[in-house]
A = this chain, B = another copy of it.
Amino acid sequence: VSGEPAPLTRAERKRAEQAEELRTEIIDAAFIEFAENGYHQTTISDIATRLSISSGTFYNYFKNKRDIVDYVIDRLTSQLLAALAADNPADVASTAAEYHEQSKRIAGAVDAVLDADWRVPRMLLFEATSIDAAMTQRVLEIFDLARQAASAYLQNGVRRGFLRDDIDIGATADAITGLMISVAVRSLSSRLDSDARRRQRETVIELLMNGITARR
């Protein structure tokens, strides 16, 4: 027995690539349909027809309709984790100004991920919770991820002294997550352009930093 799997021949490699390509096309087609008509209103045959493939072919690539959503959540989760973690360690900011900058950077990175295919967050926010309890759970877990990240950043700020030491970190992290989601929902509802989205992000961050009360 060999410890290595047999290396792929050229033909096998090509076939595998084409398979991966079709898989991606199916995901895209599915999400276009989901976005246009909703998950429950979309049939496998709608997806297949859009690609001019047969409905049976769908099942060569995904176990069932639900499976495609699972697959995409996996992908999105890792993309978000990458965007968050990448070059943004929680403890890098040492002043409010640096924190402000970092927040804008992270918000921009998250926005970039979500904007790359806006149908994915749309699906997650508007439809996933209606698929079944397990899927709802998966979405809530993504929110939890955001909450934990926000907590870590807040803790750093409080420790360093540039954030108020009387804030309730948990509740504030919740609020920040909520703000992020609401910005996302807003973008999705009205399909803002990238500039409008940037302005909205910055307004929200500024609001978060300084509140709305007038200073004398």
Judge if A30 is at the interface, Cβ distance under 8 Å.
no
Give Cα A179–Cα B168 distance, bound, in whole angstroms. 15
Minimum CB–CB distance for A158 against chain B, Å: 8
Q: Decide: B178 and A182 in contact? CB cutoff 8 A.
A: yes
How many copies altogether? 4
Contact partners of A207 in chain B: CB under 8 A:
167, 172, 175, 208, 211
Of the candidates B189, B203, B211, B214, the one whose C-beta lies within 8 Å of that of A140 is: B189
Give Cα A143–Cα B162 distance, bound, in whole angstroms. 34
Give Cα A171–Cα B181 distance, bound, in whole angstroms. 14
Judge if A9 is at the interface, Cβ distance under 8 Å.
no
Give Cα A93–Cα B4 distance, bound, in whole angstroms. 67
Give Cα A126–Cα B125 distance, bound, in whole angstroms. 8
Q: Decide: B178 and A130 in contact? CB cutoff 8 A.
A: no
Chain A: residues with Cβ within 8 Å of the partner, total of 51
Judge if A108 is at the interface, Cβ distance under 8 Å.
no
Contact partners of A168 in chain B: CB under 8 A:
199, 203
Of the candidates B131, B133, B174, the one whose C-beta lies within 8 Å of that of A186 is: B174
Give Cα A154–Cα B132 distance, bound, in whole angstroms. 39
Q: Decide: B127 and A167 in contact? CB cutoff 8 A.
A: no
Contact partners of A162 in chain B: CB under 8 A:
213-214
Judge if A149 is at the interface, Cβ distance under 8 Å.
no
Q: Decide: B208 and A172 in contact? CB cutoff 8 A.
A: no
Using known A-B contacts A40-B40, A130-B40, A167-B207, determine if residue A212 contacts B179 with beta carbons closer than 8 Å.
Answer: no
Q: Decide: A171 and B203 in contact? CB cutoff 8 A.
A: yes
